[in-house]
Amino acid sequence: MPWTPKTTRPILTSRIPTPPYGDWSKRHIVSYDEYTKTGVVPGYAALRKALTMTPEEVTEEVKKSQLRGRGGAGFPTGLKWTFLPKPDAATGDGGVRYLAINADESEPGTFKDRLLCDFDPHLVLEGIAICCYACRIQTAYFYIRGEYHHQAKVMENAIKEAYAAGVFGKQGFFNGAATKNPFSNASGGTGWALDCYVHRGAGAYICGEETALLEGLEGKRGWPRNKPPFPAIKGLFGKPTIINNVETLAHLPFIIHEGAGEFMKQGCESSIKGAPPSYGTKLMGMSGHVNKPGVFEFDLGIPLRTFVEQYCGGMRGGKKFKGAIPGGISMGILGPDQYEAELDFDIGRKHNVLGLGTACPTVFDEDTDMVAVARNIARFFKHESCGQCTPCREGSGWLYQLLSRIEEGNGKSKDLDLALEIATSMGTMPGTTICGLADGNNWAIRTIMNKFPDEFQKRVKPTFVPVRLGGLAVGAGV
Amino acid sequence: MAWITKNSAGTQIERRSEPYLTPAMRKDLSERILPRYAVKQACVLPCLHTIQHEYGWVPAQAMEEIAEFLGLKPSEIIDTASFYEEYWLKPKGEHLIQVCRSIACEFCGQKDITEACKRKLGIDVGETTDDGKFTLIELECLGSCGSAPAALVDETLHENLTAAKIEAIIDQTAKSGAHGHGHGSHNGSHGH
């Protein structure tokens, strides 16, 4: 049955021309003025609406929409917000708390948040303002990876424009528009007082892990923290902190302006009984062996085959599909028989991968050497392991060595067992690693080895075990 | 009796009389960056970025100056600086060519790009040319998977590369004369 999109208009990309709605060549940086006049929701209209609601009503609307975080884990955003300590009932004062925006998009295959920072920075800033209003936050840090030089500048400029327009700063929002402002009776009653700053990272994948990101913000090594305490209780500078992904925040203006009901008309229900649904659209970045790669916006639930063949011009050179990583290399791999996999939050349970991740598939054609893919991934994790936990630090190095050896043709068949044993034991035992990096490494290598066993078998020599036969040592292939 | 065979505890730091963290930088950092954070240590990354951008690397003396500026210990600065890849604790060439080697790039032709750079510059990955103009490295994902292969030359991203394209970019960069890292007077091939 052919897949039909539910969305008839772009939502996140309403100002960023994207096929099938628009033409890539017309993309440009949307200024504050253009932002307020264009788009599926006129710019900052949603923030104006939010300010007529109480923070609790805004949170409730986001909870109702069942928006799930777009950074990879798919955690319900509204629920995350409610983990913050309750503000003082009489004054509404929540004390000092922070928002950290995760724009440390560093996982190979993932390049979707970059699109928003590149072209429509104010959509993100409006989302930040709405989140800060709902969570009574007065300071937001936009943690962007160091390699995004251009994007950091675009965001800096947009923040300057937003300060001038009163979205940020202490001079009052839109020249003191009437609001149910939680800040008017909090922290000395200065009125709307939200600050937003860009904080540049410096080349460390691990800083995309939320507590490592906080360490980076505090000027320390990006070492993930032990949890609990969770950041919502004790985060940045020891204060309650919310960490949200760029794309998650960019969904907020539509949800608040059009209502949770409109948002839930996009995306799909879960086909697994009792599992949470995958509502809304998603930015999906296609890369690898397809004719027209790039970032698109689709309803969650689009089958991979439809995405490749209908929107990305099919496989490059008319080659056959061999496999795909659903959304960042830590998610594992979809095999040749999983081309029909639907890109929604159920994918992990249905297709033996870790999860949807960032929904940015990297597609491989029939000529791809899967041993090389595994080696590339192992090298990445070896390089990016922060070194705190032994299973991850040592395991990732061993895996890379073993897979390199197999790729070069010097592997023995026992190396396969050893590699699989290491991969399977990394991060699976609860409490042996602080963060999920080892688990991502484990899933990636394990699924590649399990879904393409022949390719690995072909590359190794049999292991010779000396067997004693009447006093003579004879090699026997195993 | 035991005697000291390693001087690790007494490592010499090369010094110059002129500070790396200039008064102008101190002024900009204290006015624009320091007030953003609840604690001074949070300014370590911005301070290191300033030095890295200006000089193309982070000398030990600069780390001492940052420590003094933020009221921290020098060990706390080197602890952070040594963790992040973007900071160079040793001098590098005037221009830095960083070729992405992650999944999408490697399987869409990254090896040709690296080979073209090696041929053109006559150096291996991780090396600097004799004239101190170029340093070539490979790094992990640049977030440009849809337009692979990609490379970051100084602070500019180049996408959909071919061997011919990266060679032309190297020519252009060599001709431009400007230092890749801001406008510092430091020549990375020999320290001060």
3-state helix, strand, coil in chain A (%, to 5): 40, 15, 45
For residues A262-288, one letter each, b for 16 or more C-beta atoms within 10 angstroms of the residue's C-beta and e for the rest, the string is ebbebbbeeeeeeeebbbbbbbbbbbb
Domain range for A175: 31-264
Nearest CA in chain B to A113: B143
**A294 and A188, same structural domain?**
no
Mutation target vs A (from B141, B155, B181; most A CBs, 10 A cutoff): B141
**A103 and A170, same structural domain?**
yes
Mutation target vs A (from B32, B45, B49, B142; most A CBs, 10 A cutoff): B45
Beta strands in A261-358 (DSSP E): 267-268, 278-279, 281-288, 294-299, 302-303, 321-325, 342-343
**CATH architecture of residue range(s) B95-191:** 3-Layer(aba) Sandwich (3.40)
pLDDT at position A176: 58
pLDDT at position B38: 95
Please give the single-letter amino acid code of residue B71: G
Mean pLDDT over B101-120 rounds to 97
**A375 and A331, same structural domain?**
no
pLDDT at position B184: 37
Phi, psi of A226 (to 5 degrees): -70, 140
**A217 and A190, same structural domain?**
yes
**A189 and A102, same structural domain?**
yes
Chain B residue numbers with beta carbons less than 8 Å from the beta carbon of A96 are 38
pLDDT at position B176: 85
Distance between CA B182 and CA B168 in Å, rounded? 22
Q: Are A155 and A121 in contact (CB under 8 A)?
A: yes
**A317 and A348, same structural domain?**
yes
Burial label for B11, CB within 10 Å (0-12, 13-18, 19+), is: exposed
Q: How many CA atoms lie within 13 A of A183 on its CB side?
A: 27
Read off the tokens for A361. Answer: 């598939």
Distance between CA A60 and CA B142 in Å, rounded? 37
Read off the tokens for A345. Answer: 């939050």
Q: Smallest CA–CA separation between B175 and chain A, in Å?
A: 23
Distance between CA B76 and CA A290 in Å, rounded? 47
**A260 and A288, same structural domain?**
no
Q: Are A420 and A446 in contact (CB under 8 A)?
A: yes
- Regarding predicted confidence, which is higher, B177 or B102? B102
**A446 and A385, same structural domain?**
yes
Tell me which of A365, A390, A412 is where a domain ends.
Answer: A365
Confidence of residue B190 (pLDDT cuts 50, 70, 90): very low
Q: How many CB atoms lie within 10 A of CB B61?
A: 18
What is the DSSP code string of A451-476? HSHHHHHHHSBPPEEEEEETTEEEEE
> Which among B120, B68, B57 is positioned nearest to B90, based on CA atoms?
B57
Domain with CATH 1.10.10.1590 in chain B: 19-83
Instruction: Using CB atoms, pick whichever of A150, A199, A285 lies closest to residue B145.
Output: A285
**A131 and A114, same structural domain?**
yes
Phi, psi of A168 (to 5 degrees): -115, 165
The single-letter DSSP state of residue A165 is T
What is the CATH classification number for the domain harbouring A290?
A: 3.10.20.600
What is the CATH classification number for the domain harbouring A96?
A: 3.40.50.11540
**A442 and A307, same structural domain?**
no
Cβ of B84 and A200 within 8 Å?
A: no
A189 domain residue, yes or no: yes
Q: Smallest CA–CA separation between A218 and chain B, in Å?
A: 4
**Prediction pTM value:** 0.93
Q: What CATH number has the domain spanning B19-83?
A: 1.10.10.1590
Mean pLDDT over B179-192 rounds to 43
A450 domain residue, yes or no: yes
Residue B157 predicted with pLDDT over 70: yes
A131 domain residue, yes or no: yes
Distance between CA A352 and CA A107 in Å, rounded? 20
Q: Tell how far CA A197 is from the center of its chain.
A: 21
Distance between CA A150 and CA B47 in Å, rounded? 19
Distance between CA A207 and CA A16 in Å, rounded? 28
Based on its alpha-carbon atoms, the radius of gyration of chain B, rounded to whole angstroms, reads: 19
Q: Smallest CA–CA separation between B3 and chain A, in Å?
A: 33
Each residue of B16-35: pLDDT tens digit? Answer: 999 999 999 999 999 999 99
Q: Smallest CA–CA separation between A258 and chain B, in Å?
A: 32
From first CA to last CA, the distance across chain A in angstroms is: 47
- Cis bond leading into A276, ω under 30°? no
Q: How many domains does chain A have?
A: 3
**A375 and A359, same structural domain?**
no
Distance between CA A386 and CA A204 in Å, rounded? 9
Read off the tokens for A132. Answer: 């800060």
Cβ of A203 and B46 within 8 Å?
A: no
Mutation target vs B (from A138, A147, A289, A384; most B CBs, 10 A cutoff): A147
Q: Smallest CA–CA separation between A120 and chain B, in Å?
A: 17
> Which among A191, A454, A153 is positioned nearest to A322, based on CA atoms?
A454
The residue behind tokens 């705190």 is A388
Provide residues of B within 8 Å CB-CB of chain A.
36-39, 41-46, 48-49, 79-80, 83-87, 101-104, 106-108, 139-148, 152, 155-157
Establish, for the pair of chains A and B, how many residue pairs have beta carbons separated by less than 8 Å: 138
Cβ of B103 and A108 within 8 Å?
A: yes
Mutation target vs B (from A144, A218, A322, A333; most B CBs, 10 A cutoff): A218
ipTM summary value: 0.92
Q: How many CB atoms lie within 10 A of CB A127?
A: 26
Burial label for A347, CB within 10 Å (0-12, 13-18, 19+), is: buried
pLDDT at position B32: 96
Cβ of B143 and A111 within 8 Å?
A: yes
A301 domain residue, yes or no: yes
Q: How many CB atoms lie within 10 A of CB B171?
A: 11
Q: Are B28 and B74 in contact (CB under 8 A)?
A: no
Each residue of B53-69: pLDDT tens digit? Answer: 999 999 999 999 999 99
A23 domain residue, yes or no: no
Beta strands in A326-390 (DSSP E): 342-343, 362-365
SS3 A201: coil
Chain B residue numbers with beta carbons less than 8 Å from the beta carbon of A294 are 146-147
Q: pLDDT of chain A along its 478 residues, tens only?
A: 688 899 889 999 999 999 989 999 999 999 999 999 999 999 999 999 998 898 999 999 999 999 999 999 899 999 999 999 998 877 777 889 999 999 999 999 999 999 999 999 999 999 999 999 999 998 999 999 999 999 999 999 999 999 998 899 876 666 555 566 666 544 444 466 789 999 999 999 999 999 999 999 999 999 999 999 999 999 999 999 999 999 999 999 999 999 999 999 999 999 898 899 999 999 999 999 999 999 999 999 999 999 999 999 999 999 999 999 999 999 999 999 999 999 999 999 999 999 999 999 999 999 999 999 999 999 999 999 999 999 999 999 999 999 999 999 999 999 999 999 998 888 777 778 999 999 999 999 999 999 999 999 999 998 776 666 665 555 555 4
Instruction: Using CB atoms, pick whichever of A150, A197, A204 lies closest to residue B157.
Output: A150
Phi, psi of A325 (to 5 degrees): -95, 125
**A157 and A62, same structural domain?**
yes
Tell me which of A320, A336, A365 is where a domain ends.
Answer: A365
Cβ of A201 and B45 within 8 Å?
A: yes
Domain with CATH 3.40.30.10 in chain B: 95-191
